[in-house]
Amino acid sequence: VTGQLMIAVPRGTLFEGTLDLLDRLGVNTGEVRSNQRKLLFAEAGIVTMRPSDVPTYVEHGSADIGITGKDVLLEQSQRKVYELLDLGYGRCRMVVAARDGGDPVGEALRRLGRVRVATKYPRIAARHFAETGRQAEVVEVKGSVELAPLTGLVDAIVDLTASGRTLAENQLRVIEEIEVCTARLIANPVAHKLKAERIDALVERIRAR
Amino acid sequence: MTHPIPPGTRDVLPDEMRELRALTDRLRRTFEEAGYGEVYTPVLEYEEVLRRGDYAAAGAAYRLFDEHGEVLALRSDTTIPIARVVATRYREAAPPFRLCYFAHAYRAVDRGVGEPREFLQGGVELIGVPGPEGEAEVVALTVAALDEAGLRRHRVGVGDGSLYRSLLFSLEVPEDRHLPLLECLSRRDLVGLDLGISALGLAKRERELLVRLPELRGGPAVLDRADGPAAEAVEGLRGLHELLAQRGMAERVIFDLGLVRELGYYTGAVFEVYDPAVGFALGGGGRYDELLGRFGRDLPACGIGLDVQRVHLAQAAEERFA
């Protein structure tokens, strides 16, 4: 069905939705579903990886097309990949959140002239605060971001949330929405030209779905 | 103890150097045999002079002061210096001028990995021949030079850098909306482009045209699919196709109606060079009919530059493929 196109498929929260989409397009994802450790499925034309690696493989042409979240594309906006389609699933929001009660962000800005922000998305966070004219000190963390404001490390966090449940359980509340993020179909610029027919056929089938 | 060199620069040792030299020799021979004489221009130029060529493109990343306090810049491309050379050194000579070059250029790197700060460009400039004859000659020569270099599956993408903008004008899209749309187009953020266009409140047919045009790429049939106000705009590309077909080169060209190049001095046709073995363009170029005039000699011109390092990558990959 994908006719020799190599597709980068994200493991993690977008994995199921992506395999469901590929199933509907007639790609046989059985082997991918049943084999959690294998990474490359040459016959199905699928290679699986972390969502944040998808733009890397697609930019270099190791995969012709790929699926990843808009959050990843915003964070890696320097990547030279084409964004072809909004696939609609995997919907979540990139937000600024702070401790419930009071106004920790406003308070920090007023008294200290800057707000400290923890995030796994340093570029998105820095861009958002710069665009809204506020000075921010961005602290990059790798693990649970929710911990940072609770321990006094920062005044606020920038993170992705689907239901908001984790935030609520940690006494955090959303104070600003930066962007709604969904799964996107991306393409390598050279593949987009040299394999135009195959890519267009796939895009048309997804659109018609 | 390490003795680092700046990210994006590299040392070249004899094995690689021999291959690079053989590659540039082949390209140079093809260019020379087609009548393109090689020129060399200084790595350092007066920044003010480069800026006369193109304010944005000449925004060289590396500047320094000379002993008199003048601002010098490391060239960030070769086309502007060659426009300067033609306008000053060939002031009285009769056009056309066919020139080729192999020269290092310097650009800032956005991020550490892979992007070169210093890169070797090899290319041709055809000055004094208007479109589409000029484009046909330059595209055909590029394809032939890469054939000579051992590539087999390369293609040249051809578009019109002013196409989308003129379409926006003809559909009377307010001018303050152009820039965000053109930026989406240049990144090929088709989702963002669709959103931006939908917000304009155009009729369905016009909306469809603006959304679908950047997706049109392939053989000459795509030119027929550009209808309405776009049909007239692709006439130039149709002429180019006919000339390339006469040269037996039609199969080597991909028409790409969404193609735009980042440099600001292009006025019409734009090119990008691809090989399936490499995930990024090997080079590019286009028509720049106003650049020479800014140096005082008003002549139409076009050219293509290849990133020699990337062509070498493609060459190595094609050897494995063959």
Could you tell me the pLDDT band of residue B82, with boundaries at 50, 70 and 90?
very high
Mean pLDDT for the stretch of residues B169-185:
90
Could you tell me the pLDDT band of residue A56, with boundaries at 50, 70 and 90?
very high
A84–B191 C-beta distance less than 8 A: yes
A189–B188 C-beta distance less than 8 A: yes
Q: For testing the chain A interface, which of B188, B211, B259 should be mutated: the one with the most A CBs within 10 Å?
A: B188
pLDDT at A34: 92
Rounded to two decimals, the ipTM of the complex is: 0.85
pLDDT at B263: 59
Mean pLDDT for the stretch of residues B253-281:
88
pLDDT at B58: 55
Q: Look up tokens 């010098």; give the residue.
A: B72
Asked whether residue A64 carries a pLDDT value surpassing 80, the answer given is: yes
**Strand positions, DSSP E, A30-142:** 40-41, 46-49, 65-69, 82-86, 92-99, 115-119, 136-140
- Condensed to tens digits (0 to 9), the pLDDT of residues B91-140 reads 999 999 999 999 999 988 875 566 889 999 999 999 999 989 999 999 99
By the 8 A CB rule, do A97 and A166 touch? Answer: no
| Poorest-pLDDT segment among A71-85, A102-116, B132-146, B215-229 | B215-229
pLDDT at A162: 92
Mean pLDDT for the stretch of residues B16-21:
96
Please choose, from the candidates B294, B311, B292, B295, the residue with its C-alpha nearest in 3D space to the C-alpha of residue B303: B292
Mean pLDDT for the stretch of residues A21-42:
91
- d(CA A29, CA A4) in angstroms, rounded, equals 15
- d(CA B165, CA B154) in angstroms, rounded, equals 29
* Tokens representing residue B307 in the block: 């990133």
- d(CA A91, CA A89) in angstroms, rounded, equals 5
- Condensed to tens digits (0 to 9), the pLDDT of residues A148-161 reads 999 999 999 999 99
A82–B274 C-beta distance less than 8 A: no
What's the one-letter identity of residue B66? D
By the 8 A CB rule, do B154 and B273 touch? Answer: yes
- d(CA B116, CA B309) in angstroms, rounded, equals 10
My answer on whether omega of the bond before B96 falls inside 30° of 0, hence cis, is yes
Asked whether residue B262 carries a pLDDT value surpassing 70, the answer given is: no
* Tokens representing residue A96 in the block: 């600024």
pLDDT at B245: 95
Residues of B in contact with A197 (CB under 8 A): 218
Could you tell me the pLDDT band of residue B227, with boundaries at 50, 70 and 90?
confident
Q: For testing the chain A interface, which of B109, B184, B191 should be mutated: the one with the most A CBs within 10 Å?
A: B191
Rounded to whole angstroms, the maximal C-alpha distance in chain B is 67
Asked whether residue B15 carries a pLDDT value surpassing 80, the answer given is: yes
Residue window 33-72, chain B: list those with CB within 8 Å of chain A: none
Asked whether residue B307 carries a pLDDT value surpassing 90, the answer given is: yes
pLDDT at B224: 87
- d(CA B7, CA B10) in angstroms, rounded, equals 8
A197–B218 C-beta distance less than 8 A: yes
Please state, for a pLDDT cut of 70, what percent of chain A lies above it. Answer: 99
By the 8 A CB rule, do B138 and B152 touch? Answer: no
pTM (whole model) above 0.95:
no
**Strand positions, DSSP E, chain B:** 37-38, 44-46, 63-65, 71-74, 97-106, 118-127, 155-160, 217-218, 253-256, 269-274, 283-287, 301-307
**B220 CB near a chain A CB, below 8 Å?**
no
Average of per-residue pLDDT values in chain B: 91
B188–A82 C-beta distance less than 8 A: yes
